[in-house]
Amino acid sequence: MIRKFLRKFSSLLLKIHLYIDRNYKEKTNFAPYILKQGPAGSHTKIVHINGNFVIGGSTQLIVDIIERTSGKYSHLVVVPAHPDPLPYQPVSIYRFAIGELTGLYEFLKEQRPALVHIQYWVREMHRYRDFSLWYTGVFRMCEELDLKVIQNINVPTHPYKSPAVVHNVFVSNYVMDNFNDSAVKASVIYPGSDLSHFSHNNHTQSASGIGMVYRLDTDKLDKDAIEIFITAVKKKPGLKCYIIGGGYYFNYYKKRVKEEGLSSQFQFPGYVSYDSLPGYYKKMAIVVAPVHDESFGQVTPFAMSMGLCIAGYDTGALPEILGYKDTLVRYGNIEELADKIIDLVNNEEKRLQLGQINRHRALEKFSVQKMITEYEKLYEMYTG
């Protein structure tokens, strides 16, 4: 069955493969994050499958699991493409591009993992939606090889329907409540963060900048996200803005800032390393979340852990993450959000109070230790 599928779509797969190689590979220009793993051994084998290995929530989730369960499990990672050099090292990673699914079938057949953990984030609106064909091939291979699959649904999308899936994991109640149309057993596990890396101190009393930390791509942002910062700077001259990340909108955002004559008020460092990210948060009094969709978003708990105030659009899981809506406005209302940001910058007492609330909530719900405990329970359930 799977070989017939591969033959049928071979020419299309090759075209997509060439497109991805030309447009999707990302370069990194900073030192990689070095994983701290336990000693290798003959452990139960788990294959992690993701549509990429760029900096982002799905990759970070995989890395956290590998780093903290390597004493129990042997982890292999499969992707269709990845940056060079890898932003996280060392990782046992295998690249099977869009046009090389036959090789992936042979790989899975040889490895015979006890469990396949798939990070699923295919959406119709996504400009890389052709990855759905790659994922379809992966699921069909798991079906034919009788491999058990745990599927993480990491974005607002419906789970892939496959008899190989034994459990669906949603990253928020928002995603599960609105997109779970599957009869497969399901649970919510919040992506956890190493909150010791994003530790609280008194920097929020002196920081006066605002910023956002995202992959500047269409899956979460639109072209008008930069207008919030431009509007805020015009309302409060001298305000510094930090736009952390790279991607589709990077050059456009820089162009808009230059057109407004505000380049001296903005910094665009591009992608930054995990180790240096807390240093950028320390420059901010407010972290802005101007997203049109949000399934979870680890950068928000990062900021919450540092005692920072969050302002943004009332979209997706953001109210669930924060636990309140006081600093959120209706999506697309640029002026109202800019006013909300300026009010918070000017009101230190309220800002610090909200920062403490955020800090406590992050520690309670979004720690990496809590996440790992939940995934270990799942792994034991389906590999025992």
Structural contact between residues 235 and 342, judged by C-beta atoms closer than 8 angstroms? yes
* CB count in 10 Å sphere of residue 322: 23
How far apart are the C-alpha atoms of 291 and 22, rounded to whole Å? Answer: 27
Q: Which CATH number belongs to the domain containing residue 133 in this structure?
A: 3.40.50.11930
123 and 269 co-located in one domain:
no
> What is the value of pTM for the model shown?
0.86
How far apart are the C-alpha atoms of 146 and 163, rounded to whole Å? Answer: 9
The alpha carbon of 343 is separated from its chain's Cα centroid by a whole number of angstroms, namely 29
359 and 376 co-located in one domain:
no
Query: How confident is the model at residue 24, as a pLDDT?
Result: 41
125 and 114 co-located in one domain:
yes
Whether 106 is in a domain gets the answer yes
Q: Which CATH number belongs to the domain containing residue 314 in this structure?
A: 3.40.50.2000
Write the pLDDT tens digit of every residue in 18-49: 444 444 444 555 677 778 876 666 579 999 99
How far apart are the C-alpha atoms of 163 and 83, rounded to whole Å? Answer: 32
Whether 29 is in a domain gets the answer yes
Q: At what angle do helices 368-383 and 57-69 cross, to 10 degrees?
A: 70
Residue span of the structural domain in which 298 resides: 202-365
User: Which strand (E) or helix (H) includes residue 270?
Assistant: strand 266-270
236 and 337 co-located in one domain:
yes
67 and 170 co-located in one domain:
yes
Whether 359 is in a domain gets the answer yes
Query: How confident is the model at residue 114, as a pLDDT?
Result: 96
Nearest to 211 by CA among 267, 254, 157, 253: 267
Whether 79 is in a domain gets the answer yes
Query: How confident is the model at residue 10, as a pLDDT?
Result: 46
Helix (H, G, I), strand (E, B) or coil at 252: helix
CA trace torsion 283, 84, 154, 107 (10° rounding)? -160
How many distinct structural domains can be found in the chain? Answer: 2
Write the pLDDT tens digit of every residue in 60-86: 899 899 999 988 899 999 999 887 787
Question: Bridge-partner residues for 95, per DSSP?
Answer: 79
Residue segments in the chain with a per-residue pLDDT below the cut of 50: 10-26
150 and 214 co-located in one domain:
no
23 and 36 co-located in one domain:
yes
Phi, psi (rounded to 5 degrees) for 77: -120, 135
322 and 338 co-located in one domain:
yes
354 and 379 co-located in one domain:
no
73 and 120 co-located in one domain:
yes
Whether 197 is in a domain gets the answer no
83 and 173 co-located in one domain:
yes
Query: How confident is the model at residue 42, as a pLDDT?
Result: 59
Whether 183 is in a domain gets the answer yes
Whether 151 is in a domain gets the answer yes
Whether 121 is in a domain gets the answer yes
Query: How confident is the model at residue 15, as a pLDDT?
Result: 46
294 and 358 co-located in one domain:
yes
Query: How confident is the model at residue 88, as a pLDDT?
Result: 77
CB neighbour list of residue 41: distance below 8 Å, 6 or more residues apart: 71, 74
